[in-house]
Chain A
Amino acid sequence: MPIQVRIPAPLRKLTNEQELVPATGANIGEVLTNLNTAYPGLFERICDESGNVRRFVNIFVNDEDIRFLEEKATPLKEGDEISIVPAIAGG
């Protein structure tokens, strides 16, 4: 089973409105780069000019925030599910 990436609503224009897309890569950084080949423009929405994940983007691997793992170097295996989630307000 390939790695699945859950695309947030604001980025679905780039994925032909697909909510869940398959991806390949040994870590988060590679997945983001590979996704950009399939869906041009996706990488720059998620990462800034220096290639770092933007301040208001949260990325989760199987429900764990990658900032608590190894950030963009977080290793991935088949079947992992990645979520890209915008930061949201308090309550």
Chain B
Amino acid sequence: MSEQQTFFSNLKCRECGRLYPKEAIHICEFDFGPLEAAYDYDLIAKHINRDVIASRPQTMWRYRELLPIDGAPTVGAQVGFTPLVRADRLAKHLGVDELYIKNDTVNYPTLSFKDRVVSVALSRACELGFKIVACASTGNLANSVAANAAAAGLTSYVLIPANLEKSKIVGSLVYGTQVIAIEGAYDQVNRLCSEIAGKYGWGFVNVNLRPYYAEGSKSMGFEIAEQLGWKLPRHTVIPMASGSLLTKIHKAYKEFIKVGILEEQPFSVHGTQASGCSPISEAKKKNSDIVKPVSKPDTIVKSLAIGTPADGYYAIRSMNETGGSAEDCTDEEVIKGIRELAEYAGIFAETAGGVTVACARKLIESGKIPRNESIVLCITGHGLKTQEAIHGHCGEPRIINPSLREFEALIANDAAVLQAQN
């Protein structure tokens, strides 16, 4: 593969199809439709196949032809290729035959799927000559922009709602980024960033670099297909904030089919939200494509609390096209979901992961996901980042003195011992 060969030709409006140059622009001047990278799939099909991909390093960049940068990646070259784990104990617990966890809690370097999008956005930012990069974030994106910008020597500003989890704030500050906390909800942060993005000539990863940023999410879909042995799961369950990740996993599956890496096969993508902010799920359940914004999101799942989801319309279309469903769950169910994933699969997810597990259970119990078909749950961020959410919900350590007698008194008839012996 020539590093300089370019496989993406333009940006293209998703609404009207008008073509734009590959610059730091993100919406169509004529209808405000989002711009998306347009690729030369015939050329890509000639360059990659299963063997070529399999021979490359195990990172998201093994799918480089289907990601929108011109040269070799310069930021986040080690990101991705997180484990796809077969979770038989959790499968049994949920009453299904074949269940996998796509475990982006261990994505490099900041323990969430956002490292994927940031790797693409900042690599592109360098190609376009930006010296300052920035983002609006509910936490994970800020962590990833801060870390990857630090490694690449870029100056960064991250704008977040002031009420974020402490770990997510510290997890940005530590990299020496400029953290600006806004007294307001994420949607207000978003709006402010949209207004300042053009003004300062910065590369805002989810504003003017959004067409590049968003494509990074496809790598999660490519990896799932490869790690399952070059086939698609029948069902993929995906958390939704703006709805972008779901549309990009759908796109990844379709692109693998388009360039001949996979054969045509049936698959469904299902979207999950927290009930305290579920505009996409509500519209989908009403069989509507009009996403009614939520003015005051109210949920512990801050990473999904976007009241005005930019890709809601397209997420619904992806679910409709693939026969998928949407579901939402209460904060109580989120906590239960986090604990089930930890206790039955050994994976500690942040609140969004709890949403995905809890909603998957509902989709299974309602028959929307048949029990005998393969399922992948996309788990997108690590639980250490949102510890506040489950504090006090998973017991307390039992404290004793350093005395054998006290230990023996405690362990006699201890439930865990009895259970292990049975």
Contact = CB atoms under 8 A, between A and B. Distances in A.
B308 A65 contact: yes
B29 interface: yes
Contact of B137 (A58, A63, A91): A91
B314 to A, nearest CB: 10
A89 B293 contact: no
Interface of A is mostly: mixed
A86 B31 contact: no
A88 B206 contact: yes
B206 A90 contact: yes
Interface in B138-159: 138, 140-142
A72 interface: no
Interface residues of B, number: 47
A71 to B, nearest CB: 12
A88 B190 contact: yes
A10 B32 contact: yes
A51 B29 CA distance: 17
Contacts, number: 98
B186 A91 contact: yes
B191 A56 contact: no
A9 B27 CA distance: 10
Nearest to B137: A91
Interface stretch (B61-69, B85-93, B192-200, B319-327): B192-200
Contact of B29 (A13, A57, A67, A85): A13
Interface in A1-41: 6, 8-11, 13
Contacts of B33: 56
A90 B309 contact: yes
A66 to B, nearest CB: 11
A59 B14 CA distance: 21
A87 to B, nearest CB: 4
Interface string A50-91: 000011111010010101100000000000000101111111
A10 B243 CA distance: 23
A55 B140 CA distance: 27
A91 B310 contact: no
Contacts of B306: 90
Contacts of A54: 31-32
B293 A67 contact: yes
A62 B256 CA distance: 46
Contacts of A8: 194-195, 198
A65 B313 CA distance: 18
Residue with the greatest number of chain B CB neighbours at <10 A, chosen from A10, A57, A63, A87 = A87
A68 B195 contact: no
14 contacts: A9-B197, A11-B29, A54-B32, A60-B191, A65-B308, A85-B194, A87-B34, A87-B308, A88-B194, A90-B241, A90-B309, A90-B311, A91-B138, A91-B140
Given A85-B191, A88-B210, A91-B138, 6 more contacts: A8-B195, A11-B29, A45-B31, A56-B27, A65-B293, A88-B207
Interface of A: 6, 8-11, 13, 45-46, 48, 54-58, 60, 63, 65, 67-68, 83, 85-91
